[in-house]
Chain A
Amino acid sequence: MTPTQPDAGGHFGPYGGRFVPETLMAPLEELEQAWIAARSDEGFQAELRDLLANYAGRPTPLYHAKRLGQILGGARIYLKREDLLHTGAHKINNCLGQVLLARRMNKRRIIAETGAGQHGVATATVCALFGLDCTVYMGEEDMRRQRLNVFRMRLLGAKVVAVSAGSRTLKDAISEAMRDWVTNVSDTYYLLGSALGAHPYPAMVRDFHRCIGEEARGQILKAEGRLPDRVIACVGGGSNAIGIFHSFIADEGVKLTGVEAGGRSGKLGDHAARFSGGSPGVLQGTRSYLLQDDDGQIALTHSVSAGLDYASVGPEHALLHDLGRAEYVSCQDADALAGARQLARTEGIIPALESAHAVAEAIRRAPSEPGAVYIVNVSGRGDKDIGIYIENFPELDPQ
């Protein structure tokens, strides 16, 4: 099939669109126009390419994890090393693109939401780089469990605002950022961090991350002389996944696997598996799969990984799901933690807990697909999660 593209209204089939209060409609139109103009502006693209290469560290390696593959029965597992980027995750790709756009739009104040803190850190970083005022909204629960990233943001000069509503996680941070934007829309740019929200964000954020898949496709052809059998990525909002999937959508033989947070159990409130546990609805600007109750109230979610702990999912993933082009599975907290530990011990790579969900899916599946070629997107590094790893592996921290 041809790669998915939104229609003029930002719809991916029945999903996506622009469901926001009227105050934000004209600003979203203005943003869309600015993005369309920037896309075809060679000066913009050249500046972005330069920053991605010389500031962020692109291209990232595609590393053949031979020991892991051998242990799992002979699969050829390649890791796309987004964790090696500046700030430690793929999020910087999108932040560099959007901050250049904000500058073109003469917005001097940047706001963002963050879950795990990786997008917040990347936003604070690009704001420091360009001397822009930066405010990041973050749920109180996420501030507690991703304390290191809170401090990094502050060290970079950003203001971190604690959000105490709802489950005090990513969803509530997005709501608060939207409230800020609707209030300060004339001078403020909302640097949304995932392929979520109202049009043009889902398509724009995807485009800023498409470099992940473009590089990986070239790298695997060089390494293996063929396309992979499977591409695996974790899916919270879904930006790293859509970034790596997009270059393979047209390649029918390449299976695309998104891994959601299975949390503690399959009970509503205990996980963030939107495709197995949710249904279509509208939240925070877009129509997609949602975890909700019978009255249409948004359900609470849980994941050990703050970046996957969200009640909805990017609309392009919803379409890929319905078309059967990508499959979405879930991985429970305990399996993600075990996956992280196994990757650390066999390859010397400590992944972010989000990425550990993708690693765990490769570990689960590889023994039944011997000889298969996988690309696993290691979207971020695990330094930010050391506190959670210590809590879960107390035997490694004897006191």
Chain B
Amino acid sequence: MSRIAATFARLKDRGESGLVAYLTAGDPSPDRTASLVWALERGGADFIELGVPFSDPVADGPVIQKASDRAIAAGTNLARVLGIAREIRTRSEIPLVLFSYLNPLLRYGFERLAGDAAAAGIDGCLITDLSVEEAGDWIGPLKAAGLDTVFLVAPTSTQRRLELVSRYSSGFVYLVSRTGVTGEQDSVSASIAPLVEGMRKATSLPLAVGFGISRPEQSAEVGRLADAVVVGSAIVRLIEQNGQDPGLETILETFARDLKKPLLSVTE
């Protein structure tokens, strides 16, 4: 069983919802990322999304755009992100999902990526701007290397599209909670419940919900519906604000603990 499937199975046994922590790899520097991941795991993160920085992240709001710029300026590229994954693996078995736009992966080459990512300990890939219609050409090598392929669904997705996405997905399905780019929001979107309901009809895979979730009360609300809750921009903002602070690891650990706490007992 893959690390992703095994982790969801364990969460289910315990009656927990999972915490997926996103961070842009290489922000503030590629040497620091593994340490930040370990801190998030100590706080209770169950999965890590390692963002590959891209110069033109059209699906991201300003917080992750700036993190991408910082990571690129610090010399981060895909090869370096895979190096970070290998470093994480020296001390952790937390599932790692590579979260990227398509072009850096195309440039690296999918055949080469599949082998290198699997060898580095990556468990799955989520490619923001790769629709399932276009995915056929590219994801074969990833699947052949044993990597999960995670796709997004959104409030605009029709039931036909939910079913289409389910056919291409493995590991879990990522539900975008609202129309928009990544970023923190004051309240949880009303789109989540119907989207979860529609997707449950289309797949038995676990469902993770993200976009706009940044506070424990929000993770509690979403965790009651979904198998996992994704928090990204709020973590990246903490990294932006405390990038030069040696206490950043402690800050992230505490933040993850606060987000995970309401997810520890979500089944009624």
Contact B154 A21 (CB under 8 A): yes
Q: Which of A177-185, A258-266, A384-392 contacts B (4 or more CB under 8 A)?
A: A177-185
Contact A296 B107 (CB under 8 A): yes
Chain A residues with CB below 8 A from B129, complex form = 19-21, 282, 285
In this complex, which of A17, A24, A25, A281 has the most chain B Cβ atoms within 10 angstroms of its Cβ? Answer: A25
Chain A residues with CB below 8 A from B58, complex form = 20-21, 175, 178-179, 182, 284
A27 at the interface (CB under 8 A from B): yes
Give the Cβ gap from B65 to chain A, nearest Cβ, in Å: 7
For B, the interface residue count at a CB cutoff of 8 angstroms equals: 38
Chain A residues with CB below 8 A from B154, complex form = 21-23, 25-26
Give the Cβ gap from B105 to chain A, nearest Cβ, in Å: 7
Bound-state Cα–Cα, A380 to B57, Å: 32
B47 at the interface (CB under 8 A from A): no
Q: Which B156-209 residues have a C-beta within 8 angstroms of A?
A: 156-158, 161, 165, 176, 179-181
B59 at the interface (CB under 8 A from A): yes
Bound-state Cα–Cα, A23 to B105, Å: 21
Give the Cβ gap from B46 to chain A, nearest Cβ, in Å: 23
A283 at the interface (CB under 8 A from B): yes
B54 at the interface (CB under 8 A from A): yes
Contact A9 B56 (CB under 8 A): no
With A18-B133, A175-B58, A283-B56 as given contacts, are A185 and B179 in contact (CB-CB < 8 Å)?
yes
Chain B residues with CB below 8 A from A283, complex form = 56, 103
Interface of A is mostly: mixed
Contact A19 B131 (CB under 8 A): yes
Interface of B is mostly: loop
Nearest CB to that of B151 among chain A residues? Answer: A22
B40 at the interface (CB under 8 A from A): no
For A, the interface residue count at a CB cutoff of 8 angstroms equals: 36
A114 at the interface (CB under 8 A from B): no
With A186-B179, A284-B56 as given contacts, are A22 and B157 in contact (CB-CB < 8 Å)?
yes
Contact B56 A185 (CB under 8 A): no
Partner of A23, one of B54, B134, B176: B176
Contact A23 B155 (CB under 8 A): yes
Chain A residues with CB below 8 A from B176, complex form = 21-23
Bound-state Cα–Cα, A4 to B58, Å: 29
Contact B102 A282 (CB under 8 A): yes
With A19-B130, A21-B58, A295-B77 as given contacts, are A183 and B103 in contact (CB-CB < 8 Å)?
no
Give the Cβ gap from B166 to chain A, nearest Cβ, in Å: 13
Partner of B181, one of A22, A166, A179: A179
Chain A residues with CB below 8 A from B157, complex form = 22-23, 25-26
B259 at the interface (CB under 8 A from A): no
Residues of A within 8 A of B (CB): 9, 17-27, 165-166, 171-172, 175, 178-179, 182-186, 281-285, 290, 292, 294-298
Residues of B within 8 A of A (CB): 54-59, 61, 65, 72, 77-78, 102-108, 128-131, 133-134, 151-158, 161, 165, 176, 179-181
Closest 5 CB pairs of A and B: A296-B107, A296-B104, A23-B154, A295-B77, A183-B180
Instruction: Name 8 A/B residue pairs within 8 A (Cβ), A-sorted.
Output: A21-B152, A23-B152, A26-B158, A171-B56, A185-B179, A283-B56, A296-B106, A297-B55
